[in-house]
Amino acid sequence: MTERLVVIGGDAAGLAAASQARKRRAAADLEIVAFEKGGYASYSACGIPYLIAGDVAGPDRLIAREPAVFRDKQAIDLRMHSEVTAIDVHASTVTVHDWTTGKEYGQPYDQLVIATGAVATRPPLPGADATGVHGIQTLTDAMDLERRLGEEKPERAVVVGAGYIGLEMAEALIRRGLTVALVDDGPQPMRTLDPDMGALVADGLRGIGVTLYQGERVTAFSTAKNGHIEAVQTGTGTIRAELVVLGMGNRPDSALAAAAGIPVGPTGGIRTDRQMRTSVDGVWAAGDAVETFHLVSGRPVAIALGTHANKQGRVAGINLGGGYATFPGVLGTAVSKICDYEIARTGLTEAEAADAGFATESVVVESTTRAGYFPGATSMKTKLIAERRTGRLLGAQIIGKEGAAKRIDGLAIALWNRMTVEDMSGLDLSYAPPFSPVWDPVLIAARKAAELIERAAEA
């Protein structure tokens, strides 16, 4: 008897699950139906700011596989413009609204994967839905913004929110020739960094012409008589704007699951076990919609990254296909490029470590990306956070220019393996003048941290 797998969501997690399940089970044994409410599937949302900036030639470059590929080559019935509006876990059916025809129908399932992703934060403020106020969550959002930039040619933009997307969009709009203001209610850009490292990001933004309004809360969006945005109101004044981009982060899109009685955790993400199963029989979940486990703090977290989504979808699909796989948790490793700076982080910040109950020691070292005498060597700062008693690495941050940020991967491996900074100081890292000083910045930082831990123990 043929079993039916229904997948809600046609991007990284959902289609990874469908593809892995298909790889292990033939169409005669497993029918797969996937629903995507938008017009694009299997694309890189992380590439959207670079599309707007002009680094990516067009939206097609961000699409990994067209829907027809899934249908024709993998026998995955991927239905576009089809939004699942309800799940009935007792009847094992989902309700689907077809936006192309306007019709609604029920779809039974034997196994269900929920991969609804994340939903962008849109503030409940006057004017937030005005013409010219754009969220940047999907490729459709990006194309709407691209059309506005091309047709209306706005000159002044305000970006609200100073996380990764907000900063990347601020730079993209500067490169498109707009005057850009960035508004955030925090004291620094990128709260996933410690303040001393975030200050370097602020300097870089100012250096390319972005006006920063830090510690400012948006109170309203003012519109003209035609309903188009004309200004952003904050607690201290008015910022003129013909375009607003919301980069205020996102949250797990778990409302559909919660309404069906599928447990949701304290982060708002769907709860699963390590195999990506929910506590409801036959229901799995993966990607930005789920809650996962932080390997350093030991706490539940919801971190929306394509890397996690692909891995979790793969795990769910392997298990659905009869194999065995688990998703162990996350470190929150992330990397980005803002202006001339490469920015990377993994593990916990000082504040996060303190909140998790760790007593810490931190070091910041300044070094160069290459041997100092080699052409192109630039300055970089590496910060390590270690547990005071044991010397165990708890977190790391890097800011520098070309050649700096990918060093975070070595630090993430050290974190993954619960290494101490003393262990790290003897790592056999590669050396050649075009790539590193003889003492790599990671080794210098680890040695300095180990010395600090030793002095603290002797005190």
Catalytic residue annotation:
46
Side-chain-side CA neighbours of residue 162 (13 Å) = 28
Annotate 214-238 with b (16+ C-beta within 10 A) or e (fewer).
eebbbeebbbeeeeebbbbbbeeee
Beta bridge partners of 285: 114
In order, the DSSP letters of 279-327 are SSTTEEE-GGGB-EEBTTT-SEE----HHHHHHHHHHHHHHHTT-----
Query: What token pair was written down for 157?
Result: 């933009």
Tell me, what DSSP letter sits at residue 51? H
Which position has the token pair 């290494």?
419
Side-chain-side CA neighbours of residue 111 (13 Å) = 23
Contact (Cβ atoms closer than 8 angstroms) between residue 411 and residue 440:
no
Contact (Cβ atoms closer than 8 angstroms) between residue 351 and residue 335:
no
Closest residue by Cα to residue 294 from 266, 330, 333:
330
Q: Is 52 left (phi over 0), alpha (psi -120 to 50) or beta?
A: alpha
Closest residue by Cα to residue 205 from 238, 235, 247:
247
Q: 3-class DSSP state for residue 453?
A: helix
Cα separation of 142 and 135, whole Å?
A: 8
Closest residue by Cα to residue 36 from 52, 14, 53:
14
Cα separation of 290 and 380, whole Å?
A: 35
- Residue 58 burial (CB < 10 Å; 0-12/13-18/19+)? exposed
Cα separation of 288 and 189, whole Å?
A: 23
Q: How many residues in total does the chain contain?
A: 459
